[in-house]
Amino acid sequence: MANPFSSLFSNLLKKQGASVLGIDIGSSAIKVVQLRKEKGKAILETYGELALGPYAGVEIGRATNLPQEKVIEALADVLKESNVTTKDSGISIPSASSLLSFIHMPVSDKAQLDAMVPIEARKYVPVPISEVSLDYWPIPKEENSFSEFERTSSDRAQKDVGTDILLVVIHNDVLNRLSTISQSTGLSTAFFEIEIFSSMRSVVEQSLDAELVFDMGAGSTKLYIIDRTILRSSHTINRGSQEITLALSRSLNIPVGEAEHIKRTIGASPLPEHKNIREIIELNLDYIFSETNRVIASYQRKYNKNISRVILTGGGSLLKGFLEAARSRFQTEVVLGDPFSKTEAPAFLAPVLKNAGPEFAVAIGIALRRLQELD
């Protein structure tokens, strides 16, 4: 679905500064967001979304694994239909195409870490180190908590020795594929960024509290715990919104396309006449919510700190009744992510953008980073 307001934006928002583009190539859709900076504010120029199912010969809403040439075709289509006017862009890297590991290193000196991390990474990477790109970030210590190393160490007096780090690994083939996609669509791509960091930038505010970003896509649900704006935990549940569609199709004995329509239009409606549909949906959500609560409980035990808020992102969280269902299952505040709140657009579009927000968290986060780099 391309942005119906793109031509309107072109008229209302005359380009005054450099425009940038955030691109989120997901498993079921491509999302794009074009921003420019004016007087220190991020101005929304256009945005768009295009389902990938038809490019794979399957229904809209289904997760896909498209060949490179089909992704290029789809990206070119959404750029055209959304009236994108800039080539200056960043592109997200799916979490499934990266490896995030939290590990303990027995040293703290940066020079020593630079030398030792690639060696330690071999324990976690199932391919030769020469075939991947890796980076790491030291994680500040939390009071009243122990790293996994420290929890198993017989000598708690060693608590202040060493450094916990976040290790990030991406296969070079993934980066080469994204580079080819960018070049083939005529884009000038400044960087590739793992989607988790893009989402954090767009929906997480500066806070001393621990928060969980709940990102429900078509094929999986990603959970990120952020504490003091630092990523502390990452977990993937291999179930997403398409599982609900397939369950409705099986249970109601209807085509998948019709099941997807019912999911989008009726969802987990509280109306008595939709009880059967609601029960099928809730049954599938139960597993995802239970796994999420397990991740929350594990973090709270480890760091002796409660999760203050759950932020819902991803297209799956837009299911009717989903917010209410999540609030009934999580013992903390639950809100829908509102990444468009970090941009400015005509006031009458506010309701539309607020409703669409959770789906565009990654694309907006990418565009915001590119704007920051142009300062």
Q: Indicate if the pLDDT at residue 14 is higher than 60.
A: no
**369: three-class secondary structure by DSSP:** helix
Least confident span in 39-43, 159-163, 280-284: 159-163
pLDDT of residue 161: 74
Q: Indicate if the pLDDT at residue 359 is higher than 70.
A: yes
CA distance 83 to 341: 22
pLDDT of residue 73: 98
Query: Are 30 and 50 in contact, with CB atoms under 8 Å apart?
Result: yes
pLDDT of residue 159: 53
CATH topology match: 1-87+338-375 vs 205-337 = yes
Q: Which residues of 20-34 are buried (b: 16+ CB within 10 A; e: fewer)?
A: bbbbbbbbbbbbbbb
Least confident span in 120-124, 129-133, 150-154: 150-154
CB atoms within 10 A of CB 355: 13
Question: At the top level of CATH, which class does the domain 1-87+338-375 belong to?
Answer: alpha beta
Q: Which two tokens stand for residue 302?
A: 């480890």
Dump strand ranges (E) for 148-299.
163-171, 188-194, 210-216, 221-227, 230-237
What is the DSSP code string of 300-362?
HHHHT--EEEEEEESGGGGSTTHHHHHHHHSSSEEEE--GGGGSB--GGGHHHHHHHGGGGHH
Q: What whole-number percentage of the chain has pLDDT above 90?
A: 81
By CB atoms closer than 10 A (0-12, 13-18, 19+), residue 114 is exposed
pLDDT interval class at 146 (50, 70, 90): very low
pLDDT of residue 279: 95
Provide the edge-to-edge strand list for the sheet that holds 163-171.
98-105, 163-171, 132-139
The CATH label, of 3.40.30.10, 3.30.1490.300, 1.20.1260.10, 3.50.50.60, for the domain at 97-171 is: 3.30.1490.300
Q: CA dist 264 to 51, 159, 268, Å? A: 14, 51, 10
Q: Indicate if the pLDDT at residue 20 is higher than 60.
A: yes
Q: Half-sphere exposure of 343 toward its Cβ, with a 13 Å CA cutoff?
A: 34
pLDDT of residue 160: 56
CATH architecture of structural domain 205-337:
2-Layer Sandwich (3.30)
Q: What pLDDT, in 10s, does the model give residues 310-345?
A: 999 999 999 999 999 999 999 999 999 999 999 999
Rounded average pLDDT over 192-205: 95
Q: Indicate if the pLDDT at residue 158 is higher than 90.
A: no
- Name the phi and psi angles at 49, rounded to 5: -140, 140
pLDDT of residue 143: 57
Higher pLDDT, 242 or 148: 242
Domain boundaries, the chain: 1-87+338-375, 97-171, 205-337
Q: Indicate if the pLDDT at residue 21 is higher than 50.
A: yes
Rounded average pLDDT over 203-214: 93
Q: CA dist 67 to 55, 64, 173, Å? A: 10, 10, 13
What secondary structure letter does DSSP report for 27?
S
